[in-house]
Amino acid sequence: MVYSDTTLITQRRPDAVTSSGTMPSLVAMMVQALEVHDGHRVLQVGTGTGYTAALLCERLGSAQVTSIDVDPDLTAPARDRLRRCGYTPTLITADGAHGHPDRAPYDRIVVTFAVTSIPPAWIHQTRTGGIVLTPVFSGLARLTVTGEGNAEGRFIGPGYFMRHRATPNTSPSACSVSSANGPPWSQRTTDLPASVYYDNDFRFQLDLSMPRLSHRHPGGDLNNLILSTPDGSHAHITPDGALTQSGPRRLWDDIETRHQSWRSLGAPPRERFGLTVTPQRQAIWLDTPDSGHQWQVG
């Protein structure tokens, strides 16, 4: 299993999966995009099994690598595994969103959990000209730090990772969802199939505008889709296109509108988007920072 090119669940709590071994081909792509060179100092955020830290130690030497994870149930066994393999990086148990200033500045920071905005500590702890590589929503962003809390870069591909956990007991997929208030909206059919929710490119656009949208598919059928948001809005699309909505707003109507807007932009893939970070704001943009199509995040 460990040599298979798939994501492996490595920790599960009653309410959610809380850690996994990232697909090796994705780890390889991320390490390649990181462009490490001899002498570089790297912070790896999200130790997990320790696999990514081991690759960085092999390339740079253990003295150049710091790895951090919030969960002691992950860092303790990772430390033992790494030692048995001959690697001794600096391994910290703490909230990775704060980085590790004691060993800054870093030439590279690589993150293996998803965020909805870039923690300022990652930018401040990276030297000017250094790279921060992190999943943002469902895209993998590669940012170059330009100094004084500023960074900019583009999305280089999909990056489906569990969300950041601030404490060991936080569920990375936790989303407080209220019960629907009031009777359902009138039933109807929809020409937009449930499968559009799984479209890699549209999903990224949807994440930007509806970051707390959650889903499930009863019976494992991806075309039997139930969506919900924390305000208690729900939408259920069956495989034959029947639609039921309830709660304070028509959730699938909103998604249909956002899909039309995305199509009007040319159905752009993630790679057409970029991210600008300043101390005052963070914005995701289409094609260029001054294109006029921006989404503020954070």
Q: Domains of the chain (ranges plus CATH)? A: 8-164+270-297 (3.40.50.150), 190-264 (no CATH)
pLDDT tens, residue by residue, 79-104: 999 999 999 999 999 999 999 999 99
The continuous run of DSSP H or E covering 146 comes out as: strand 139-147
pLDDT of 177 reads 39
CA 281 to CA 126: how far, in whole Å?
A: 18
DSSP string, 182-194: SSPPPPEE-SS-G
User: Residue 65 pLDDT more than 90?
Assistant: yes
Counting other chains too, the contacts that 249-254 makes at CB distance below 8 Å and 24 or more residues apart are 250/185, 251/227, 252/190, 252/192, 252/227, 254/210
99: buried, middle or exposed (CB in 10 Å: 19+, 13-18, 0-12)? buried
Of the candidate ranges 4-13, 149-158, 181-190, 255-264, the one whose mean pLDDT is the lowest:
181-190
The single-letter DSSP state of residue 9 is E
The single-letter DSSP state of residue 41 is -
Q: Are 32 and 52 in contact (CB under 8 A)?
A: no
pLDDT of 241 reads 86
Q: What mean pLDDT comes out for the span 234-256?
A: 92
User: Residue 222 pLDDT more than 90?
Assistant: no
pLDDT of 175 reads 39
Q: Are 56 and 41 in contact (CB under 8 A)?
A: no
Q: Are 274 and 152 in contact (CB under 8 A)?
A: yes
Q: Which residues does 218 contact at the CB level (< 8 Å), separation at least 6?
A: 224, 226
Task: Kindly report the average pLDDT of the chain as a whole number.
Answer: 90
Pick the most confident of 4-8, 28-32, 207-211.
28-32
- Give the count of beta carbons closer than 10 Å to the beta carbon of residue 233: 23
pLDDT of 174 reads 40
Q: Which residues does 281 contact at the CB level (< 8 Å), separation at least 6?
A: 296, 298
pLDDT of 19 reads 79
Of 127 and 161, the structure prediction assigns the larger pLDDT to: 127
Residue 281 exposure: Cα atoms within 13 Å on the Cβ side: 6
CA 70 to CA 112: how far, in whole Å?
A: 12
Q: What mean pLDDT comes out for the span 134-143?
A: 95
Of the candidate ranges 89-93, 178-182, 199-203, 235-239, the one whose mean pLDDT is the lowest:
178-182
Tell me the two tokens of residue 254. 């909103």
Q: Are 279 and 148 in contact (CB under 8 A)?
A: yes
CA 92 to CA 67: how far, in whole Å?
A: 6
Q: Are 241 and 193 in contact (CB under 8 A)?
A: yes
CA 146 to CA 282: how far, in whole Å?
A: 14
User: Residue 106 pLDDT more than 90?
Assistant: yes
pLDDT of 250 reads 92
Q: Are 195 and 72 in contact (CB under 8 A)?
A: no
